[in-house]
């Protein structure tokens, strides 16, 4: 087995050395003709300077100034904002669209509505309670719906009020 590997290796070496041509005259001729050739680079195109443009329209609006005047406020924010010191209520963990009003209760002058959360738990709430992730405060209740006001961030450091409602689901 060893003699087969040795003979194959010997045949490969002999065939490789047989293909080598020691005559390099064609390569040397090509290199010498290439070295004698002169290269030609075209000159760069001439750069034409333009005169500067002078903005002469004094009667029209300056294009570099804002179209709307931006009101800069200084001092502390005075708009609506959530109460950071108020304890969070259980229904504030859920978004409004996941809560369902399933009924209402009344006893003497007290009125409540029953809100079902996504976990299937019923919660009894009335005016003044908070529900939803956007600091929604219940402002009125009826047999058909719960009205509330949410505080939404205006993404500028302030808050805006938005009305929302949860209607009874059948």
Q: What is the mean pLDDT of residues 28-44?
A: 88
Name the H helices within the chain: 2-18, 25-36
> Higher model confidence: residue 75 or residue 90?
90
Q: Tell me the domains of the chain and their CATH numbers.
A: 90-167 (2.30.30.830)
Q: What is the pLDDT of residue 4?
A: 87
For position 136, what pLDDT does the model report? 92
pTM here is 0.54
State what percent of residues in the chain have pLDDT above 70: 91
Output the CA–CA distances (angstroms, integers) from residue 66 to 63, 70, 74, 155, 160, in the order listed.
8, 8, 20, 21, 25
Is residue 141 within 8 Å of 111, Cβ to Cβ? yes
How long, in residues, is the chain? 170
- What's the confidence (pLDDT) of residue 58? 75
CA count, 13 A, side-chain hemisphere, 102: 13
Is the pLDDT at 21 greater than 70, yes or no? Answer: no
Q: What is the pLDDT of residues 102-126, one digit of tens each?
A: 998 988 888 999 999 999 999 999 9
CA distance 137 to 127: 8
For residue 140 the two structure tokens come to 């009125």
Nearest to 115 by CA among 49, 57, 40, 166: 166
pLDDT, averaged across the chain: 85
Residue 24 banded pLDDT, cuts 50, 70, 90: confident
Q: Shortest CA distance to 145 belongs to which of 92, 104, 95?
A: 104
Q: Express each pLDDT in 37-82 by its tens digit.
A: 888 888 989 989 989 888 777 788 777 877 776 666 666 666 788 8
């Amino acid at each position: 087995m060893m003699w087969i590997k040795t003979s194959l290796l010997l045949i490969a070496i002999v065939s490789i050395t047989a293909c080598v041509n020691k005559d390099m005259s064609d390569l040397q001729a090509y290199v010498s003709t290439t070295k004698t050739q002169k290269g030609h680079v075209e000159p760069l195109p001439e750069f034409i300077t333009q005169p500067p443009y002078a903005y002469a329209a004094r009667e029209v609006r300056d294009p570099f100034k804002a179209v709307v005047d931006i009101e800069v406020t200084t001092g502390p924010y005075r708009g609506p904002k959530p109460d950071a010191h108020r304890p969070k209520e259980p229904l504030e963990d859920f978004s409004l669209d996941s809560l369902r009003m399933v009924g209402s209760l009344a006893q003497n002058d007290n009125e409540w509505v029953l809100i079902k959360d996504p976990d299937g738990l019923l919660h009894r709430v009335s005016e003044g309670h908070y529900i939803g992730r956007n600091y929604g405060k219940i402002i009125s209740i009826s047999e058909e719906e719960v009205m509330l006001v949410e505080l939404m961030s205006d993404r500028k450091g302030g808050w805006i009020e938005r009305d929302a409602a949860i209607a009874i689901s059948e």
